[in-house]
Amino acid sequence: MNIPMKKRIISAAVLVGVFLAAFAGLYWYKTHGKGKEAIRDIYAMDTEMEIKTYGKDADKAADAAVSEIQRLDKMLSAQNEDSEIYKLNQAGELDVSDEAVSMIQEAKELSEETDGAFDITVYPLMEAWGFPSQDYRVPEQSEIDELLTHVGSDKTTIDGNHVTLAKGTQIDLGGIAKGYTSARLMEIFQKYDLTTAMVSLGGNVQTLRPKEDGTDWNIAIRDPKDPSDSSGYVGVVSVSSDAVITSGGYERYFVQDGKTYQHILDPSTGYPADSGIISSTIVSKNGTLADGLSTALYVMGADKAEQFWREHSDEFDFVLVTSDGKILVSEGLESRFTSDGDVEIIRKP
């Protein structure tokens, strides 16, 4: 072929032009269009957190999420001397914010519904075991017995914004803090007209709508027997707009004289829960509930947990891993949970 030089230059220029336009278009779409993505990785509430937002205001939404996490980290920490919770624990009574009252109220109700498996008044016991300070020790039985007398949902009284703790009682919202936070982030995201979003607060996930390609988010549940191995999963849950929150003893523990002591306490014994469940995941539209129940079902053990779910199956589903390697999955997740493990579907009668 013998194309004149001038024509060749022109067609090359057209080609370059087409490419430039395509790249510019793609760039515009990425930064301004529907497909714009923002990612933030931060460390807060003693854990790694990831925020992913999509939509034209993705950046603004992600920044707002970071500020909200920092606000709640300060507000909810029982160890932060400036927090309402710290001040309430010191003084024994205090006028607290509307937000703190509603969280304490919610925790109290959860405690009553779970027959005390979830109880924010375990804090003095958490301290005795050295979990908050990481100055770990095994307390004497007599010390545990004394501290148990200050545990119970009836030890906290609420009158308007005035919260009173019984003598010797202290509270810790750590068992619902991350679920409450992810739920708050979803509320904030609603204002930014996002196409979709996902937050993972130390493995506790909440999603807003399906991914941009229309498919569900796939949330892997870590293998509690091998949590350090990032490829070790017990299974994957597919969700669109849900909280997927896991409690596992592997998250914080210490070993003394060959025994492992983990950070979720059984409020009825004052000892680390030893119910035969080693990982408890709750899937629910309600992040705060999911977090509280992940702790509660971990404490209850399989039989009580199944019974509790049968009474509240419209509010949540679960994936429980037992120490003998079984994966118990409630009916509602049957088509949304995939695993290579030994799965048993738990059904309603």
By CB under 6 A, name the binding residues for ligand ADP: 118-120, 122, 126, 172, 174-175, 178, 247, 251-252, 263-265, 267, 291, 294-295, 299
Q: Is 159 helix (H, G, I), strand (E, B) or coil?
A: strand
Choice between 196 and 279, CB closer to Mg ion:
279
Which partner, ligand ADP, Mg ion, none, binds residue 239 by CB below 5 to 8 Å per kind? Answer: none
d(CA 199, CA 206): 6
- Minimal distance in Å, beta carbon 124 to ligand ADP? 12
Here the tokens at position 338 are 């995939």
Q: Closest CB to ligand ADP belongs to which residue?
A: 174
Q: Which of 73, 172, 266, 291 binds Mg ion (CB under 5 A)?
A: 291
Angle made by CA atoms 93, 97, 101, in degrees to the nearest 5: 70
Q: Binding mask 238-277 vs Mg ion (x if CB under 5 A, - otherwise)?
A: ---------x------------------------------
- Minimal distance in Å, beta carbon 40 to ligand ADP? 20
Q: Which of 175, 224, 267, 270 binds Mg ion (CB under 5 A)?
A: 175
Q: What is the largest CA-CA distance in the chain?
A: 99
Q: Which of 153, 200, 294, 322 binds Mg ion (CB under 5 A)?
A: 294
Choice between 111 and 195, CB closer to Mg ion:
111
Residue 273's closest CA among 291, 246, 251, 249? Answer: 249
Question: What is the number of residues in the chain?
Answer: 349
Choice between 204 and 330, CB closer to Mg ion:
204
The answer to whether the CB of 88 falls within 8 A of the CB of 97 is no
The DSSP secondary structure of 30-82, one letter per residue, reads HHHSTT-EEEEEEEETTEEEEEEEESTTHHHHHHHHHHHHHHHHHHH-TT-TT
- Minimal distance in Å, beta carbon 295 to Mg ion? 4
d(CA 276, CA 307): 16
The answer to whether the CB of 265 falls within 8 A of the CB of 172 is no
223 near Mg ion (CB under 5 A):
no
d(CA 313, CA 16): 59
Choice between 200 and 294, CB closer to Mg ion:
294
Applying CB under 5 A, what is the total number of residues that bind Mg ion?
5
Residue 306's closest CA among 348, 246, 247? Answer: 348
Choice between 203 and 332, CB closer to ligand ADP:
203
Contact window for Mg ion (CB under 5 A) among 57-65, 77-85, 144-152, 167-175? 167-175
Choice between 124 and 174, CB closer to ligand ADP:
174
Choice between 223 and 291, CB closer to ligand ADP:
291
Helix, strand, coil share of the chain (percent; to 5) = 40, 25, 35
d(CA 177, CA 349): 34
- Minimal distance in Å, beta carbon 129 to ligand ADP? 10
- Minimal distance in Å, beta carbon 54 to ligand ADP? 26
Which partner, Mg ion, ligand ADP, none, binds residue 251 by CB below 5 to 8 Å per kind? Answer: ligand ADP
Residue 308's closest CA among 106, 109, 114, 107? Answer: 114
Which partner, Mg ion, ligand ADP, none, binds residue 126 by CB below 5 to 8 Å per kind? Answer: ligand ADP
- Minimal distance in Å, beta carbon 291 to Mg ion? 4
Residues engaged in binding Mg ion (CB under 5 A) = 175, 247, 291, 294-295
